[in-house]
């Protein structure tokens, strides 16, 4: 049986910004991250949510890699990313 693991640590993330006419709004899609001295490439974006913490908008992204799913958090004020948790892939 596999469980999600809480991480909550800063990470460097490569993202794709899409502000084209067909995008509903400016969209951010994480492409990969450098975590624990390894490159983790994301296969797809599963879910994006946002919330306000005071005046700061915080975005959460759930991304699928080849081996696991990762929840990332982006702080729009500091522009900092962190890995919130790692979740096993179903299958």
Q: Which residues of 42-66 are buried (b: 16+ CB within 10 A; e: fewer)?
A: beebeebeeeeeeeeeeeebbbebe
* Token digits of residue 80: 């900092």
* Residue 83: C-alpha distances to residues 1, 24, 25, 32 (Å): 22, 26, 24, 12
Report yes or no: 70 and 4 within 8 Å, Cβ to Cβ: no
Domain chopping of the chain, boundaries: 5-88
Tell me the mean pLDDT in the region 2-12.
89
Total count of residues recorded for the chain? 91
pTM over 0.95: no
| pLDDT of 21 higher than 70 | no
pLDDT at 13: 97
**36: CB partners within 8 A, 6+ apart:** none
Q: Dump pLDDT digits (tens) for 56-87.
A: 999 999 999 999 999 999 999 999 999 999 99
Higher pLDDT among residues 20 and 41, named by residue: 41
């Amino acid at each position: 049986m596999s469980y999600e693991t809480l991480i909550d640590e800063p990470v460097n993330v490569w993202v794709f910004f899409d502000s084209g006419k067909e995008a509903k709004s400016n969209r951010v899609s994480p492409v990969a991250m450098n975590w624990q001295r390894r490159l983790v490439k994301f296969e797809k974006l599963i879910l994006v949510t946002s919330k306000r913490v005071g005046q700061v908008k915080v975005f959460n992204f759930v991304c699928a890699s080849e081996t696991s799913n990762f929840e990332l958090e982006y702080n729009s004020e500091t522009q900092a990313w962190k890995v919130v948790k790692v979740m096993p892939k179903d299958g």
